[in-house]
Structure 1
Amino acid sequence: MSETKIKSVLVAQDIKTLDPTKLTPLSPEVISRQATINIGTIGHVAHGKSTVVKAISGVQTVRFTSEFKRNITIKLGYANAKIYKCTNPECHRPGCYRSFRSNTEDSPLCDRPGCGGHMQLLRHVSFVDCPGHDVLMATMLNGAAVMDAALLLIAGNESCPQPQTSEHIAAIEIMNLKNIIILQNKIDLVKEAAAKEQYGQILKFIQGTVAEGAPIIPISAQMKYNIEVICEYIVKKIPIPVRDFTSDPRLIVIRSFDVNKPGARVDDLKGGVAGGSILKGVLKIGDEVEVRPGVITKDLDGRMKCLPLFSRILSLYAEENDLQYAVPGGLIGVGTRIDPSLCRADRLVGQVLGAVGKLPEIFISLEVNFFLLRRLLGVKSEGGEKQSKVRKLAKDDTLMVNIGSTSTGCRVTAVKHDLAKLTLLTPVCTMEGEKIALSRRVDKNWRLIGWGTIKKGTLIEA
Structure 2
Amino acid sequence: MKHLIIGTAGHVDHGKTALIRALTGQDTDRLPEEKARGISIDLGFAQFRLPSGRRASIIDVPGHERFIRNMLAGITGIDLVLLVVAADEGVMPQTREHLDILQLLGIKQGVVVLTKVDLVDAELLDLVREDVAAAVKGTFLEGAPVVPVSSVTGEGLDRLVQIVDGLLEVTEPKDVTSFARMPVDQAFVRPGFGTVVRGTLVSGRIRTGDRLELLPQGLEVRVRGLQVHGEKVEVAEAGQRVGVNLSGVERAEVRRGDVLAEPGVLRPTDTFAGRLHLLASVPRPLRHGARVHLHTGASEVTGRVLLLDRDELEPGDSAFIQFRSEAPLVVGRGDRFIIRSYSPVHTIGGGGVIEPHARYRRHHAPHLEELRAKETGGRTGVIAETLARRGPVPLAEAELARLIGAPADVLAPDLRALEEAGEILALEGGYWVHRRGYAAFVEAARSALEAFYRQWPLRPGLPKEELRRKAVPQADARAFAAVLGRAVAAGELVLDRDRVLLPGREVRLTPAQESLARSLEAAVRAAGFSPPSVAELRDRFPDALTEELILHLQEEGRVVRLPGDLILHADHLREARERTRQFLRTHPTLTVADFRDLLGTTRKYALPILDHFDTQRWTRRTGDERVAGPLL
TM-score, with structure 1 as normaliser: 0.72
- CA change 1:186–1:338 in 2 (3 A) is farther
For residue 164 of structure 1, report the CA deviation from its aligned partner. Answer: 0.8
Of 314-323 and 433-442, the range deviating more from structure 2 = 433-442
The one-letter amino acid of 2:212's match is V
- CA change 1:135–1:353 in 2 (3 A) is same
Asked if 1:44 corresponds to 2:11, the answer is: yes
Asked if 1:216 corresponds to 2:146, the answer is: yes
For residue 290 of structure 1, report the CA deviation from its aligned partner. Answer: 1.1
- Where do residues 279-290 of structure 1 align in structure 2 (5 Å cutoff)? 279-290=202-213
Of 409-418 and 221-230, the range deviating more from structure 2 = 409-418
Among 339, 349, 355, which residue is 1:438 paired with?
339
Asked if 1:59 corresponds to 2:26, the answer is: yes
Hey, what's the Cα distance between the residues in 2 that align with 1:413 and 1:280? 30
- CA change 1:182–1:392 in 2 (3 A) is same
For residue 423 of structure 1, report the CA deviation from its aligned partner. Answer: 2.2
For residue 38 of structure 1, report the CA deviation from its aligned partner. Answer: 0.4
The one-letter amino acid of 1:209's match is T
Hey, what's the Cα distance between the residues in 2 that align with 1:47 and 1:433? 33
For residue 279 of structure 1, report the CA deviation from its aligned partner. Answer: 1.7
Q: Secondary structure at the match of 2:114?
A: strand
Hey, what's the Cα distance between the residues in 1 that align with 2:176 and 2:288? 43
- CA change 1:282–1:223 in 2 (3 A) is same
Q: Secondary structure at the match of 2:286?
A: coil
The residue that corresponds to 1:202 in the other structure is: 132
Q: Secondary structure at the match of 2:287?
A: coil
The residue that corresponds to 2:157 in the other structure is: 227
For residue 147 of structure 1, report the CA deviation from its aligned partner. Answer: 0.7
Among 258, 272, 288, which residue is 1:351 paired with?
258
| Runs of 4+ in structure 1 over 6 Å off | none
Unaligned runs of 5+ in 1: 1-23, 26-35, 85-120, 261-267, 295-307, 377-388
Of 347-356 and 173-182, the range deviating more from structure 2 = 347-356
Among 388, 401, 410, which residue is 2:303 paired with?
410
- Where do residues 328-339 of structure 1 align in structure 2 (5 Å cutoff)? 328-339=238-249
Among 96, 111, 125, which residue is 1:181 paired with?
111
Aligned CA RMSD, in angstroms, stands at 2.0
Deviations 1:353-388 (Å, cap 9, x if unpaired)? 12222x312101223332211224xxxxxxxxxxxx
The residue that corresponds to 2:582 in the other structure is: none
Residues 322 and 358, structure 2, Cα contact 8 Å, conserved in 1:
no
The one-letter amino acid of 2:211's match is E
Hey, what's the Cα distance between the residues in 2 that align with 1:310 and 1:52? 40
The residue that corresponds to 1:265 in the other structure is: none
- Where do residues 284-303 of structure 1 align in structure 2 (5 Å cutoff)? 284-294=207-217
Among 414, 426, 429, which residue is 2:327 paired with?
426
- CA change 1:212–1:457 in 2 (3 A) is closer
The residue that corresponds to 1:253 in the other structure is: 184
Hey, what's the Cα distance between the residues in 2 that align with 1:161 and 1:209? 15
Deviations 1:398-431 (Å, cap 9, x if unpaired)? 2001122211111345653233333212101112
Asked if 1:133 corresponds to 2:64, the answer is: yes
Q: Secondary structure at the match of 1:336?
A: strand
Residues 276 and 332, structure 1, Cα contact 8 Å, conserved in 2:
yes
The residue that corresponds to 1:97 in the other structure is: none
TM-score, with structure 2 as normaliser: 0.53
The one-letter amino acid of 1:256's match is A
Deviations 1:130-175 (Å, cap 9, x if unpaired)? 11111222222222212111001000111x3200111111111111
- Where do residues 2-401 of structure 1 align in structure 2 (5 Å cutoff)? 24-25=1-2, 36-84=3-51, 121-158=52-89, 160-238=90-168, 239-260=170-191, 268=192, 270-294=193-217, 308-342=218-252, 347-357=254-264, 359-376=265-282, 389-395=283-289, 397-401=290-294
Residues 361 and 459, structure 1, Cα contact 8 Å, conserved in 2:
no
- CA change 1:403–1:155 in 2 (3 A) is same
Deviations 1:45-92 (Å, cap 9, x if unpaired)? 1000111111111111111122222222111111112112xxxxxxxx
Q: Secondary structure at the match of 1:314?
A: strand
Hey, what's the Cα distance between the residues in 2 that align with 1:43 and 1:329? 22
Residues 374 and 390, structure 1, Cα contact 8 Å, conserved in 2:
no
Hey, what's the Cα distance between the residues in 2 that align with 1:317 and 1:340? 19
Hey, what's the Cα distance between the residues in 2 that align with 1:427 and 1:41? 29
**Higher relative CO (CA 8 A, sep ≥ 6), structure 1 or 2?**
1
Asked if 1:451 corresponds to 2:350, the answer is: yes
For residue 459 of structure 1, report the CA deviation from its aligned partner. Answer: 7.9
Q: Which has the higher strand share?
A: 1
Residues 273 and 358, structure 2, Cα contact 8 Å, conserved in 1:
no
The one-letter amino acid of 1:405's match is A
Q: Which has the higher helix share?
A: 2
Hey, what's the Cα distance between the residues in 2 that align with 1:258 and 1:223? 39
